[in-house]
Amino acid sequence: MSDLTSGAGPVSASLFAPQELRRFLVGFIGLTMLSGMTIGMNKVLATMFGLHLGVTNFQLALISSAETAAMAIGTLPAGRILARGNPKFLYAAISLTLSGLFCILPWLPGWQWVAVLMFLVGLCIALRIVAMSTVFLVRLPELGQGKAGWYKGTLMLGIQFAGPLTGNYVIAHLGLTGGFYVSAAMFAILALLGWQVLPDHTGHRAQGKGADASGWRELLRLPVVRTTYLFEVLASFTASSVGVFSILLAIQVLHWPQDHAVWLMAVQGVSFVAVLLGMGNAVLGSRHRDRIYGAAHLAIIAALLLLGLYPTTPAYLVASVLLGLGLGVNALVNTSRIAHAPVDKARVSAHLTLFGMAAGTLGALAAGRLGDLVGLRNVFLLWTLPWLAAWLFYQLKQGERP
């Protein structure tokens, strides 16, 4: 067991007492929820501000993509900085910087300046996300594998549910400028909370064993890293394309009203978060964990087949549930494996963040392009091919183990 837990590093020793672990977990979950809320809220604010400026669809897309592109560009440098830096100081400094930027944003004169500022925001958020995921991976062996999904589950609750609802409420009652000031205040609160919760170094070195794997070659030599990277890329690729175009299918094929079609995403999101927050012990504590992992990937394949072959309301709802469950179990197992692997957590966190963003963007673009050529239902059938190939590859590798 020493090899598995060594990734926790020396930092975790200070949090060994149960009451201190509980205090850290409560603070970290609060930090994660508020962080997710700011991301979800700011997506609403940026979109509404773009419309307020009277931008074209293309200009609005540039504003939106500026933040995403900057987050992708900033992830790898963020991993290198955090591998050597102080997460507590960096997180607090970046959060205060974001607070200042959002005070400036509503006074910018044109959409070009908004896009530039959103690019700066994306660079800052990349470092914050990598900092939080790094600390969580380092702490997870102490917290217990049942908590493996708590970070991502809480973050998604904030981004997909609490954040957009808060953004709409604040804009309705305080106006657009007031919304940006509320967001700035939230970033200032995050700076204070992050200073209290996060450690002053990541503890990415294994005790008594020298440095953990951090270079590309070192990391890719580890089967656990190769498997995790593969299935995380496939998950992001699939989730983004299904998230956008299953709603469109429901409207065009099933003739659902727009407000009803959103329930497909809601059902998938609830299933995903339920697995992350409630099934950690059941999945990761099972002696059949590898079989559950493989079954989760089959559930994703089944969901894609339902979306492609059976355009009915029950089939689409079942597909949404299966997709949420499959992606949730996939995330649980991947998080647990990386947390216990002898790897540099900051570097791997940066890689996974970058891969997720890139695969998500590529998945949506590819689905849109292929959808125009072969039809959206056939796109979902095509998406089963890489999943089936990856599943077979994983099963063969499992069979080779003694």
Helix, strand, coil fractions of the chain, as percent rounded to 5: 85, 0, 15
Q: What is the mean pLDDT of residues 226-245?
A: 85
Backbone φ, ψ for residue 106 (5° rounding): -70, -10
Q: What is the pLDDT of residues 126-159, one digit of tens each?
A: 888 888 888 888 888 888 877 878 888 888 888 7
Give 214's pLDDT tier (boundaries 50, 70, 90).
Answer: low
Burial state string for 48-62 with b = 16 or more CB within 10 A and e = fewer than 16: ebbeebebeeebbeb
Distances (CA, A) of 25 to 29, 168, 193, 270: 6, 29, 13, 22
Give 298's pLDDT tier (boundaries 50, 70, 90).
Answer: very high
Lowest-confidence range among 262-276, 316-330, 375-389? Answer: 262-276
Q: What is the mean pLDDT of residues 68-92?
A: 80
Contacts of 119 (CB under 8 A, 6+ apart): 66, 67, 69, 70
Give 306's pLDDT tier (boundaries 50, 70, 90).
Answer: very high
pLDDT at 3 exceeding the cut of 60: no
Contacts of 265 (CB under 8 A, 6+ apart): 243, 246, 247, 320
| pLDDT in the model for residue 211 | 53
Give 262's pLDDT tier (boundaries 50, 70, 90).
Answer: low
Contacts of 165-168 with CB under 8 Å at 24 or more apart are 166/37, 166/40, 166/41, 167/40, 167/41, 167/42, 167/43, 167/44, 167/45, 168/44
Between 217 and 262, where is the model more confident?
Answer: 217
| pLDDT in the model for residue 297 | 95
Contacts of 89 (CB under 8 A, 6+ apart): 200
Indicate the average pLDDT of the chain.
Answer: 81
Backbone φ, ψ for residue 351 (5° rounding): -60, -50
Between 265 and 214, where is the model more confident?
Answer: 265
- CA terminus-to-terminus distance, the chain: 19
d(CA 45, CA 187): 15
Give 202's pLDDT tier (boundaries 50, 70, 90).
Answer: low
Backbone φ, ψ for residue 257 (5° rounding): -65, 155
| pLDDT in the model for residue 184 | 94
Q: What is the mean pLDDT of residues 188-208?
A: 75
Cα dihedral 110, 112, 118, 120 sign: negative
| pLDDT in the model for residue 95 | 93
d(CA 102, CA 104): 5
Confidence (pTM): 0.73
pLDDT at 345 exceeding the cut of 90: no
| pLDDT in the model for residue 102 | 93
| pLDDT in the model for residue 156 | 81
| pLDDT in the model for residue 401 | 54
Contacts of 179 (CB under 8 A, 6+ apart): 41, 45, 48, 167, 170, 171
d(CA 42, CA 166): 10
CB atoms under 10 Å from CB of 273, counted, come to 21
Between 29 and 1, where is the model more confident?
Answer: 29
d(CA 87, CA 398): 37
Lowest-confidence range among 76-80, 110-114, 385-389? Answer: 76-80
Q: What is the mean pLDDT of residues 23-48?
A: 86
pLDDT at 48 exceeding the cut of 90: no
Give 78's pLDDT tier (boundaries 50, 70, 90).
Answer: confident
Residue 115: exposure state from Cβ atoms within 10 A (0-12, 13-18, ≥19): buried
* Residue recorded with tokens 């609160």: 189
SS3 305: helix
Give me 26's structure tokens. Answer: 């409560």
Among candidates 253, 263, 356, which has minimal Cα distance to 307? 253
Q: State the DSSP string of 53-101.
A: TT--HHHHHHHHHHHHHHHHHHHHHHHHHHHHS-HHHHHHHHHHHHHHH
d(CA 390, CA 49): 42
Q: What is the mean pLDDT of residues 200-206?
A: 57
